Structure formats: structure tokens, C-alpha cells
Structure 1
């Protein structure tokens, strides 16, 4: 039986025209790179990069009971958010396992936008619909919108120069995890100070029919300021340096938030929500740690973590860090090995000493 055709974002033709190398990413035909993984990574750290993230899922929640419903359906206390703010949170299974990690935007008192990972869009939409109560509407609006991420230290300089953007307001007043309304060629444009790279930047949500024009306008505005189009490879190495977990690597239904160092997404005094079991400790459960090694041989996903002759964990993500110039990795290890000085990674049969490291590996300087 043949596999279904890969889905295309509204920018599929743009990626092909730019000569991108494309791959299957969660059923979507997405750009891995346009020219060089390393050049794209460095551009985001030093100037700016633009990413197509239109494969992400967008779910609109509205109605008089929307805030209370989201408090029940999700891990965070969504009702405490003010309009104009965003929050990182999760949707959990009954046993506390992670169904997906999310960003929630409060658009108005009774209107919210939930952004889910592309590969989990259907599961998240179904779970949220199942948890909905009377007077609350849950609508998957993903196909109506495009999402473009402008990331890097020059992002705030570039965005006001994008032709067609108006009514943007003062970007300096837009805090991290906040959003504002703007216009692009007269159409609504949501501008959020969020991202997945560890740098300053913005995520721009626009109607799907305006995606190509906005993408081209961003590239043109940043052309003389070091901006480049960037693909999945750079996005992955950037988020790894920033210690940001990836669903399917660090996060899954077999993991509760506390194991990933994200217990803070659940308020200590919160009760009565789906997945409340995540608050109970799981004695002996492996925990997420950062690891660094010397040399050039990086641990990759699935490589065993050793302590003496015993396997005490496994790498979930690893790479040679372009910014730090050394191999870094995230791994789940037994709790008593989380800070052990005598760990090693089995790199294709070679034992490479590894040192526990605080996450994130990289933190941007204040600019």
C-alpha cells in the first residue's frame, strides 16, 4: 500500500524555487536546508533567519467558558493570562503523559489560539474537542493560516522594514511571550515575540493566501542585514543549543513534565485538570540532562549513556554545536546518574567521556 502524498505548506513552491533540500517531516514536505546547515545556523545567531513553520497546527477556542475549559483541558492555568499574552503549556493524557507541548495565545477574554506541533495536530484537536464543555467552540483552523518565524538579533530591526506591514506598533514595548495585531497588505497579521531558536525573534501568522507575499517581503527586507532562509536542520541545532525539548525526542506520552525538567508548567496548587496524575512523583523514572563531550564525535539519538559497565540512559538529541564548537546532547538518565562525573556515551562502539551540563547550553546575550 502506497504512502499518502506529503502535505505542502503554502510556501512549498518558494522552497523549491530557492533550491531547498526537502524531506518528509511528520507527513509534510519541508525544507531541511537551502544551502548550508552551518551557514543558516550562524546567520540566526549573528543576524537573522526566516523559517516556514506553517505546518504547525492552529486551534481556535472561543466561548464564554473558554478560559475555564482550557484550565481543565491543559496543564497550565490559562485563565490567569491577560489578552495580548502567550504561554508555553502542555496537553496531557489521563496518566500524565505528554500528548503535546503547546503555545496558547489569549486573543480576547473569551477567545484563544492554541498552536500545536504538526505531527500531533489531529490528536490535539481531537483531545481538545473531546474535553470541550457546553458553550465552548473548538475549531481546527490550521489550513486557513501560514506561520513564518523571523529569528535572530536583527529580527527587531528587519520586521518594521517589511514592505506591506503596517499598524505594527512599537516593537520595543512587545515583551517576550506577548503578541500584537498588525496588518500585512491590509490583511490581519498576528505578531508574537516567540520562537524556537534561543534568539530574539517573532512568529508571524497571516492568512494562507498572503503567505508567499509575506515570505518574499521578509527576505527582501533582510537581504542587506544578513538574513537567510533557514531549514529544519538549523532549527534543530539552534533549539538543541537553547535546551528546548522536541516532541518525539525529549517529550512523549511515556514522559511526564517533571522528568523533562518542565514540572513548572503545572501550577503547584492546580487541581481538577486532565493529566493531574503528572503531579505525582515517579520514583526511579529517568530524568532529562544535558551532556557535553570533548573532541568532535557527537552522541546521536538512541546512543547509550554509560556509567561503568552499566547502561544508565540514552541520548535523545545530540550534535556538534556550531556556536560552542563542541559536542552537546540531551539524554534521559537514571536519577542517581544525573550529576555523576563518570558518565560516558557509547558512540558506535567507542566510549566517549561525558560531563553533565546545565540546560540551556547557550543563552543569548542581552542586546
Structure 2
């Protein structure tokens, strides 16, 4: 992994227009190689390193800690733009920005360790989920605490972004007591093995594979607590899902972009059609218009949801029990989780209604949009989210964010 250290004095602006002017040329370059990377299954190490060197990973560092302090809405708009260029690159930042946002709820002694590292260009992956064998609400990965911090042992899967990152944040049980903690460890450290064994049919280049931790030392400032029901826990669960929704929105925009480009450059038509060039055919124009409308609606929902999360952050002070504004972040995200995946999948599917069989050529790799959207959409079952929203509106029950995956008890009760 190539690591490039940034000049910590080069603080970015916080407004979308200025940030877009800085990053869009990089996004455009990333987009130009997206099809080749997909076809060659070439992980985007160089592309991510370039973004990190330009300061993309610092966007959510607060101004009082030397960062730009970009709002969640501004960050999400940029992430949609990046996902339009390459949804894999955007998706792998989910882990890093989830970690960075969680720091605002951590004690000062933790913030003083990690904010400077982020500002210097370091990124953090994620290693939370175990592939099987752990009961729901329990983890087989364990931290054994000692006077030097702790020792980490375990095995994780779905470790999105870790293969590109300098560190990864690992959720683990604590040996000898209840609860769980996070350990943030160097990905190149002794006892850490990161494998590129993700075999999903979409989002193939996100590094969503296995990470193994064998007697890994954890420094004291890298052991982080998580309190159920706190502002930290509620906000991060919603924030993690919002990033996936931004990726879906970007995929919808990519489908719109590719549909319009294909139609604009097509000369062939069918005798069963109007006889007009496709670019002038009203039915084809309508098809592209429907794709564009889905992309527009998906982004509008995502941006509104981001504004709700910004309001939640503005209402928090420390890491006390989550106030109503933070609780509503989860409500807003779950509404979006029911609607945005359908819009993105619809846009990716309808792309194939615009030009005919030539769209299925593997040289175009247009199928990646549907495969990528479907893969992202499976991260949090939509039926569970729709049920929770129904319960909220009928009975006033606040929905619970996704925070655990494991084997169900035989009677259906969690452990």
C-alpha cells in the first residue's frame, strides 16, 4: 500500500462549490479507468491514494481540531459525485468516515491521538462482522486488556476498505467481562493479515474480504468504548447507512450518464421503431428521462436525509443518551433505505431499455451498475426497515439501527 503524507497546514474549504472544484477533476480521472478496473479486477489503490493525498479523508474533521468541518450534506454530495465515477471507491470510504464521525463523541485523549493522524493522511478501515458461528449480539473476536492496552485475537469478514487503509477498527468482546469495545490497529502491524477474498458479484473492488488478528497489540488510545443508546451509537448506525445510500444515488447517476451517452452516439435503429435516430426518438428520450428522474429523486432523498443527520449533530453535546434530533436520524435513514435502493436498481435496469442488445457487450461493462446497486442494497434487508418504519408511524416505536449480525437463537430471541 502506498501511503502519502499530507501537509497538515493545507486545510480544505468547507463549502460544496469549492470542494467540488478541487475534487471533480480527480473524480473524472477515476471515472475514466472504472471500466478497465472492473474488467481486470484491479483494486483502486492508486486512485484512493490520490484522493487521500488531496485531503478527501479529512472532510469531516471538525474545525476546532484543524479540519475543514464540512457538513454531512456537503460530504454526502461529494460522495455521490465520487460514486458516479466509481461506486467501489466511494463505498470503501464508508469505514473511514464512520470512524472519523465517531471521534467527535470520544474523550479528548482519544481525539488528540486520532484527529492528527487523519489530518496527516491516515485512513481507517472496518472489521466488525464475523462470517458465522457467533450468536446475535455476541462476538468471537476478543480483546484481552492489559497494562499496555490490550491484545486482539479473531477473524472478520466484510472488512470493506481495510485493504486500502493504514488502520482498521475492529469490534470485539472483552475477555472477562460483558460488552464490547473497538480496537484500532495498523493494517501492516504484526499479527494482522488482510486478504482480498471478496467474491460478491458486485462492488468487487472494495476489499470486502477477510481480516485475521493473531495476538495483535493494541495501544491504550486505540481502545474505544461504545455505549448502547448513546448519541455515538445512534448517529453512527444512521451515518453508516447514509453512506451506502449515497453510493446508490451515485450509481443511479452513472446509469443516467451512460444511457444518455449511448443514445447520443447511436446511429442504428429498428424497423419497428419510428425510423428516427435514437437521440430524436420520443420513446427513447422518455426512457432516458425516467432514468434521470430516478437519479434525481434518489439524490434528493439522500441529501434531505443528510440534513437530518446534520441537525442531529448540532443538537448533541458529548455522548449522553441520544436526544430526539439524533433519534430522528435513524428514522430518516430508514425511510430512505426503503426508497433509494428501488430507485437506483430501477435506473440501472432501465439503462438496458435505451439501446438494445449492444448494451450487453462485456466491453461496456454496463451490467456493473445493476450488480453494484444490488450488492449495496443487500447490506440491510429492506423488509426489516419497512416494518420498523410502519411500527414507528403506527405505534411510535423508535427504530433501532443496525449494530449486530449473528446467528439467531432457535426460538427467534437474540442472545
Higher helix share goes to which structure? 2
Whether these two folds match at TM > 0.5 is no
Taking structure 1 as the reference length, what is the TM-score of the superposition? 0.32
Higher strand share goes to which structure? 1
Taking structure 2 as the reference length, what is the TM-score of the superposition? 0.29
